[in-house]
A and B are shown apart, each in its own frame.
Chain A
Amino acid sequence: MPEITRDEVAHLADLARIDLSDAELDHLAPQLQVILESVASIQGLAGDDVPATSHPLPMTNVFREDVVTPSLTPEQALSGAPAVEEQRFSVPRILGDEQ
């Protein structure tokens, strides 16, 4: 049976940029273990001869003419921003202390 430990859940949450509390880790880790055991039933069911499907219908890339079409104004584009400065999205510092 595959195992997903509390430490592994903490690591995955870190990769997914979710700051889970200890209480959440205690709560979510065992639930994820149950789900994983259930979905793991498909391991090895389909052999190498079965192609993978990523999309239900066959599709090709779509291009459009390179012409200007109406788009959002800067005010509209920034209307939901948590913080705005000089017509730009204002964000916290990106580099850590060591950088």
Chain B
Amino acid sequence: MSELILKTAAELADSLAAGETTSVELTQVHLDRIAAVDGDVHAFLHIDAEGALSQAAASDARRANGDALHALDGVPIAVKDVLTTIGLPTTCGSKMLEGWVPPYDATVVKKIKDAGLPILGKTNMDEFAMGSSTEHSAYGPTKNPWKLDRIPGGSGGGSAAAVAAFEAPLALGTDTGGSIRQPGAVTGTVGVKPTYGSVSRYGLVALANSLDQVGPVTRTVLDSALLHELIGGHDPLDSTSTTTPVTGLVDAARAGATGDLKGVKVGVIKELAGEGWAPDVMRKFNESVDILTKLGADVVEVSTPSFQHAMAAYYLILPAECSSNLAKFDAMRYGLRVTPDGDPSAEDVMKASRDAGFGDEVKRRIILGTYALSSGYYDAYYGQAQKIRTLIIEDFKKAFEQVDVLVSPTSPSTAFPLGAKLDDPLAMYMQDLATIPANLAGTPGISIPAGVSDVDGLPVGVQLLAPVLEDARLYRVGAALEGAIGPVLSIDKLEVAR
């Protein structure tokens, strides 16, 4: 194992700039690491050694030539398999898209390619991003590098595990109800869900359009800021894209690293505690709150009563949107086509293909969404869920009149054993209690490692939430907290081989 893989993305960028290493070397050591440990972790669905090394060689040539370079030029990255990539398979963890190679790049993929980040491969995920454990991947689960019989979170367990196992310094994820932040919490990594609309979703295979957001998966707050600024900004190809520039995040992370939070008001969310929250998680979380106070922040308790109904509203809105979104997988233009015997009609082919191509969780949500949108139930369920959404947005507004950022644990427990919740969908859904409100309201959120549990030694995450377009606050407070907590993830704590 090369010691280079232990460095942060910012450190790797500095080493490249100082001429101490090359992008080809960095890319190769990460490919070597993947070859050594991914048989155990299964973070990747596709590895593109040839493409990554060729991008790395191009980066080294640009540097030798004295071209203007992006700060992360030459630093390798992994990409969640829900983002389209020209020439690389994009399966979304589903048999429906097995072998599909998209003819276009997602805008965020184009941005990282243009900036010169070699793409190591595509990471595993719950099928079409539905799940909290990566066990709903049609290609088998990803394992948590801390303890290989534990879940890595989901849906972006592949991206989080790749970064936690030092297989990649950076990764892209997507967060619809917590799919970046919850995997971050249970793998001891940093994950950010940016403000809705501030990062393009063009080329993100949509789960729920009013909730989805692309964001960074890294080992430090500063690395997330660097990647977030790179992928953020307006995109004419995404009609929900905001026009506000995404800037000041790296500066905010550097300012936060000084550890001074005097004058910052922090609200502890009253509703995200109590029954259902593991005591070891709460102990670690309370330590983080004490640290915020020591750093000079003014910490108060804030009540957001509607958050108690966020999960119910989410599991009506999301299935409704996904049942409509996934209608495009009709076996006509791309993806799996299963043709039953006899003289089947297009409809027969669709039904057979969708039964064969979709897994249980996808079927559950499509059927639930079809139910919620049926005439007769629409007002009682979907309509009501949309009203709860209004109440949640109002609660956020009231809270942010009192405080600058909100804080809660990211996930109610540490990583649970693989298989523990697979046949209990509702128990699986509870994993997202704390992360869902931000998706419903469009607000940004970050999960950073709070430490390890005093019960099982596994990582616990602390979540910070800020008002819409105030993502910089997450980086300032997050970097201060990260610095005071100290390193949580280290290669020697992992069960996966050094």
Contact = CB atoms under 8 A, between A and B. Distances in A.
Given A39-B316, A80-B334, A51 B346 contact: no
Contacts of B171: none
Given A34-B426, A35-B425, A42-B312, A53 B371 contact: no
A21 interface: yes
B258 interface: no
Given A53-B386, A53-B390, A92 B316 contact: no
Interface in B325-346: 327, 330-337, 339, 343-346
A19 interface: yes
A59 interface: yes
Given A17-B351, A79-B101, A92-B346, A42 B370 contact: no
A18 interface: yes
Contact of A42 (B354, B368, B388): B388
Given A41-B309, A43-B380, A44-B384, A12 B371 contact: yes
Contacts of A42: 309, 312-313, 316, 381, 384-385, 388
Nearest to B102: A80
A82 B196 CA distance: 35
Interface string A35-50: 1101111111110001
Interface string B335-363: 11101000111111111101100101001
Given A13-B367, A28-B367, 8 more contacts: A8-B371, A16-B366, A18-B354, A35-B429, A43-B384, A56-B210, A80-B334, A81-B334
22 contacts: A17-B351, A19-B352, A24-B363, A34-B425, A35-B426, A38-B426, A39-B381, A42-B309, A43-B380, A45-B384, A46-B391, A52-B387, A52-B389, A53-B387, A54-B386, A59-B240, A77-B103, A79-B101, A92-B346, A93-B343, A94-B346, A96-B345
Interface of A: 4, 8-9, 12-21, 24, 27-28, 31-32, 34-36, 38-46, 50-57, 59, 61-62, 64, 72, 76-77, 79-83, 89, 91-96
